[in-house]
Amino acid sequence: MIEILMFHRVLPKSKIDLNDAYFIRGTLISQERLEQIILEYLKKDFYFKTISSLNYDSKTNQVALTFDDGYTDNYLYAKPILEKYNIKATFYPVIGYCKENTIAPLDYYYHYVNENITIDNKENWIIGNQKKTFLNYSITQQKEFVKTLKKINNSKNRVSYMSTQQLIELDSLNHEIGGHSLYHDIYTKLDENEIREDIRETKQMLSNIGIEIESYAYTDGQYSSTIIEILNNENIKFACAIKSKKLTNDGHYELERKFITENEII
């Protein structure tokens, strides 16, 4: 049996506001929850693997932990737990934000929600129609939208992305670093040339810091046969989705993942 788990942000429980937009959305879990999950899989005699090291011919129970987007809290709070149990994981950073020390439009959006939207209205902004409208924008349109919002404070709770040096360190510790686009564009909204260019630039940016990638995580879990073909042509051997569409006979490009929240596995 092979299971692949998907995480995003990780913080100690003491630092989590239950009304935080990331927490409500499910993309923020506690460090304690991460450790609990690891212990559950250890108790069930699962072997922990990176995506590229999974053995699909083996009958042993294997689990891969994946962390999307590349938030700094992965380095600060997930890494120590992984080290405690000598576990290697796979990290999928949005490399453009890591290199430029910037954050995504969605991060600005969530910070605006946290600072300005009342609890009664938060659901619409986080999982309702307002959020759906925002996600339907291109990255350029999202950037224009957040410019119209009230300027967010540089609060201590503002997120950041791992530095390239931190990614290099994770790679040196035998964690796997994979691709997750330059700026989190949804590939199914781009044309074929744009997709190919983004994948190539993502690979090159990581290669420039000494990291050669073998796996990819689709942004928002969205993919198509065309995207699979491009990844294959670019020598990417594995790709993580959320739910498989079973578009090909080679499931290595449609790896299903379980979305882990603080209270459930989806």
Domain boundary assignment for the chain: 2-97+162-259, 104-158
Burial 26-54 (b: 16+ CB within 10 A, else e): bbbbbbbbbbebbeebeeeebbbbbbeeb
pLDDT for res 115? 86
Instruction: Please state which CATH number belongs to domain 2-97+162-259.
Output: 3.20.20.370
Q: Which residues of the chain have pLDDT under 50?
A: none
Q: First CA to last CA across the chain, in angstroms?
A: 18
pLDDT score for 155: 57
Give the other-Cβ count within 10 Å of 102's Cβ: 14
Q: Residue 35: what pLDDT?
A: 97
Q: Please report the pLDDT score of residue 153 as a whole number.
A: 60
Encode pLDDT of 97-118 as tens digits: 999 999 999 999 999 898 888 8
Helix axes 105-116, 129-136, angle to 10 degrees: 160
One-character DSSP codes across 201-232:
HHHHHHHTTT----EEE-GGG---HHHHHHHH
Task: Please give the pLDDT value at position 260.
Answer: 94
- Residue 127 sits at φ, ψ, to 5 deg, of -130, 5
Which pLDDT value is given to residue 136? 87
pLDDT of 250 reads 74
Burial (CB count <10 Å: 0-12, 13-18, 19+), residue 163? middle
